[in-house]
Structure 1
């Protein structure tokens, strides 16, 4: 049976995807920074192992353990990540680096570690979790959107270099999802002395409240990931959630000024 390695399976999209692939009869290498509280290990054909995308040794150990346990990795899902929002001035350099290290550098390092195995076998699929925020931006998301735009670009470029080797690259773009993104997966920075940004912070709160009024479940994204991992053909991008389809269609149809003004209008309501 085929095997998928998933980063960030402690909750949300990662956990829902692990359960979905397991239900389809796949072997699952479920990775996360802290494995102590995971109940995924109770499932047959699921290997729970530690992987912190900011820790190179843990990446190597997890990939090695997964291959030794199941014999192969057919699909890699780069899911681990979080969102940093707030005025750029409010972020320390360390927090800026942490956002890019997690969402971009970590994704690249996990991919680099799995690629020799897939290249030798001349087969495999890499699914990278982007976001609607990899195609459009919201206020105060300089860091988060910077990372997700990077994921879109690096994934598209990887598609060219890996396709001749039998390795496919897919991008999944979720909209607003009912996960803990607003909790431990959300890093908001604001300095009370930066009063010039107070109005933008308030407006961002209103905008997010409207956009997140009817979020999709993590299982919706897991279904799209299943499609992305198994669909034949050369489709690169897969949208997850009705709001994703709506917003991305609007962005594609409108020029910069029109779309940006529509976001500003939502902020002002």
Structure 2
């Protein structure tokens, strides 16, 4: 029987790539995005339904999901919508912080909550939540972004315990750097002159040379597809060589030693 996946944030980057991969594997795909009127690629694919969905708008989100469940049998939900917020904490406005939490955390919680009764009654279903390597370890100038991604990771683990009794799986895919437009369209930030040197060093991670070494979105999408289809009870899937290298180093030398190492790399004044 053909399966169906519901994807948020499918207008570009990893979300669109994942939609294409699942479609190519004979899945029905419900690809959601804030501005579906601008989508010209996914709309041409067979078995792909493109819908409007803004994960930060509770009312519209719940209405859209209810309508989807009236006409589709959904087997998996990919919570992918999100963006980065980079800069020192004291440079951010309350609005920037609120928007980041609304999208990256509350969006995941709302979509998940809307699907739980359906999966519970069905006695099966899979949630796959996209976090980040920065949802497993902290990094300078990513305090709010990491807060949301750490939160989604903890939310996913805790929820997995709740839902296991109903045959529902909750999984996390934590990518490292991806060769997408994340550093452009999907990135917000703020500057504070007191942190100039630190920000300059952080920005090295978004240089063309550094980006060239990151994972291709197709590689991360393959990890997502594996998480959806491998039948395992595995919770976390670390995706990408850089993410695995950082995570392995942190585990090998210990969390506190890793923290001191990163501090040393970014401490310009003693």
Question: TM-score scaled to structure 2, two decimals?
Answer: 0.93
Determine the structure 2 residue equivalent to 1:199: 197
Q: State the alpha-carbon separation in 2 of the partners of residues 160 and 41 from structure 1.
A: 37
- 8 Å contact from structure 1 (residues 177, 218) kept in 2: yes
Determine the structure 2 residue equivalent to 1:116: 117
Gaps of 5+ in 2: none
Q: State the alpha-carbon separation in 2 of the partners of residues 222 and 142 from structure 1.
A: 26
Q: Aligned residue pairs: how many? A: 265
Determine the structure 2 residue equivalent to 1:234: 233
Give, in angstroms, the shift of residue 58 of structure 1: 2.3
- Aligned residue for 1:36, secondary structure, equals helix
Gaps of 5+ in 1: none
Give, in angstroms, the shift of residue 68 of structure 1: 3.1
- 8 Å contact from structure 1 (residues 34, 50) kept in 2: yes
Per-residue CA deviation, residues 222-265 of structure 1 (Å, 9 max, x unaligned), is 10000111112211111211111111111111223432344345
Determine the structure 1 residue equivalent to 2:49: 47
- 8 Å contact from structure 1 (residues 130, 171) kept in 2: yes
Q: State the alpha-carbon separation in 2 of the partners of residues 24 and 69 from structure 1.
A: 21
Give, in angstroms, the shift of residue 213 of structure 1: 4.3
Give, in angstroms, the shift of residue 184 of structure 1: 1.5
Give, in angstroms, the shift of residue 65 of structure 1: 3.2
Give, in angstroms, the shift of residue 151 of structure 1: 0.7
Determine the structure 2 residue equivalent to 1:256: 255
- Aligned residue for 2:30, secondary structure, equals strand
Q: Which moved more, 1:250-259 or 1:83-92?
A: 250-259
Query: Is 1:64 aligned with 2:63?
Result: no
- Aligned residue for 1:60, secondary structure, equals helix
- 8 Å contact from structure 2 (residues 33, 54) kept in 1: yes
Q: State the alpha-carbon separation in 2 of the partners of residues 15 and 236 from structure 1.
A: 23
Question: TM-score scaled to structure 1, two decimals?
Answer: 0.93
Residues 7-156 of structure 1 mapped to structure 2, 5 A cutoff = 7-38=8-39, 39-70=41-72, 72-156=73-157
